[in-house]
Structures are given as C-alpha cells and as structure tokens.
Chains A and B, each alone.
Chain A
Amino acid sequence: MTSPIGPALALSAVLFACGVAGVLLRRNILVVYMSIELMLNAANLAFVAFSRLHSALDGQLFVFFSLTVAAAEVAVGLGIVVAVYRKLQSVDVDRVNLLRN
C-alpha cells in the first residue's frame, strides 16, 4: 500500500485556503464557523499526512485532541450564536459590535 503524501499536503493547503476565503468573504456567522471547521480539518489532514510520512503515531493522536477542541469550540460558538440571535435577531458578524448589553 502506498500513500500520497505530497498530494495530501496540497489538498490540505487548498482546503485551508478555501476556509480562509470563507472567513473573509462571508458575513453569516454560521458560515464563518463552518469555514473555521474547514481550516481545522485541513490542519488535521496535514497532521495525518506527516504522521504517515514519518511512520509515527503522534500525528493521529494530535488529530484526536484537535477534534475534541473543535467539538468544544463549535458548542461554545453556537451557544454564542444563539445568544446573539436572541439579542439582535440577526447572525451578521458586522452587526455584532457590542461587548455588553
């Protein structure tokens, strides 16, 4: 079995660039969160590719911890989205400009 390391890293780079473009282009806070998830996923792909390159398990373990962080981040982020929507009746990131009240 052979594994494509370089192409996998290239795919990771393209997915990360897509995530960056999504964060910068979109104003819908949910789509911004999804783009952040996409970037985390691209980083995970790079972790797994390097884990394969060095035939070491550490990269896959880092992916495990990165996944728990992503899950916690999504839960907290969506909680904030729900709170903001109750306050502003909107999920536009440009309208979220208050620290309190």
Chain B
Amino acid sequence: MAVGSLVVFIICAVVAVFGAWRMITSHHPVHSALYLVLCFAATAVVYLLLGAPFVAVLQIAVYAGAIMVLFLFVIMYLNLGLARDVLDDRRRRIVVGVAAGALGLLVLMIALFGGGLGQAVKGPMPYRVEDIGVALCGPFALPFEAASVQLLVAMVGVMTIARPELRREADRREAAGR
C-alpha cells in the first residue's frame, strides 16, 4: 500500500472514531450532532480513498448536510438542555462497554485475518460516476423508482405523525361530506 494513502487513512480513521466516541459521550445533544458531522466528514475522505467519489459527495451532501441539519433543527426546536443520562449507571456502562468492544474486536479480527482481506487492492477503480447513473437508469431502475415512492410515503407519514390536528381535520371533512 502506498505510504501516502495509508497515512491519510489512519488520520481519517482516528478522527472518525474520535467523533463517534465523543458523539456517544457528550452530554449536550448539539455537541453529539456536531461530533457526528465530524465523523461523517472523515468517513467521506475514506470513501474517496476507496475509489468512490460519488458516495463521498453523497455522504457530505445528504448525511452531513441534510440529515444532521434536520437533527440540529429538531434539537433546537425542542430546546433540549443537558442530557444527564449518560455514564450515570456504572454497571450498565461496564456491561455495554465490554459487549460493544467484544463485537468490534470480533468483526475486526474477521476483517483483518479472515479470507485474506488484509491486502490492498491496486490500480484505479474501473468505474466512473457516470456509470452509476447509467446503472440507476438501467438494471436498477425499478429500485430507483421504489426509493422515490418510499421518500414520498415517508414525507406524508411524517406530516400525519407530527401534526395530528391535520388528521383530525381531514376526518371531520370526510364525515361532513358523507
């Protein structure tokens, strides 16, 4: 593996794990959200190293941009104060720490030593971004359309859940029209 890409990867990996860890342990939800943005940005650089520029841009635009802004909006909309829930139960902390650590170690060992995945793949990725668009319009056209329907359903569902008065008004209108 080239030394340069390895150094960049190690820096990004450390930043990503640091962001994830601080996201869990921060007392304030806004801090958690911002550390998660840091983690996502570092992961986007790893996507670039893995020859996936389209996914890297999606990561920044959709995850760090849209989803985390939505999180911050809801946190500030609800005006949540400090969360005094984390790290206050010592036994639970130890059990969860050991369980999550064992899970991570297990998958890490499989990733590093199982099936000879430890080697690096040489040469450029033989696809470009436009090939993704071609695939989305060709063999993946049906899932692509299904994804759009899913987003529409999610939007309608959120409006129904978050504003029950809309639903009640619709029921009343339907009853009056009958």
- B74 surroundings in chain A (CB, below 8 A): 30, 78, 81-82
Total residues of chain B contacting the partner, CB 8 A: 87
Is the beta-carbon distance between B50 and A49 smaller than 8 angstroms?
Answer: yes
A52 and B21 within 8 A (CB)? no
Contact partners of B126 in chain A: CB under 8 A: 55
- Classify the secondary structure of A's interface with B: helix
Those of B25-67 within 8 Å (CB) of chain A = 29, 32-33, 36, 39-40, 43, 46-47, 49-52, 54-55, 58-59, 62-63, 66-67
Determine if B67 and A74 form an interchain contact, defined as CB atoms under 8 angstroms apart.
Answer: yes
Instruction: Give the interface size class of chain A.
Output: 35 or more
Question: Chain A contacts of B77 at CB under 8 A?
Answer: 82
Partner of A15, one of B5, B39, B70: B39
Interface string of A27-55 (1 = CB under 8 A from B): 11011011101100100110011011101
Seed contacts A2-B5, A5-B50; 4 additional CB < 8 Å A-B pairs: A52-B125, A70-B63, A75-B70, A78-B71
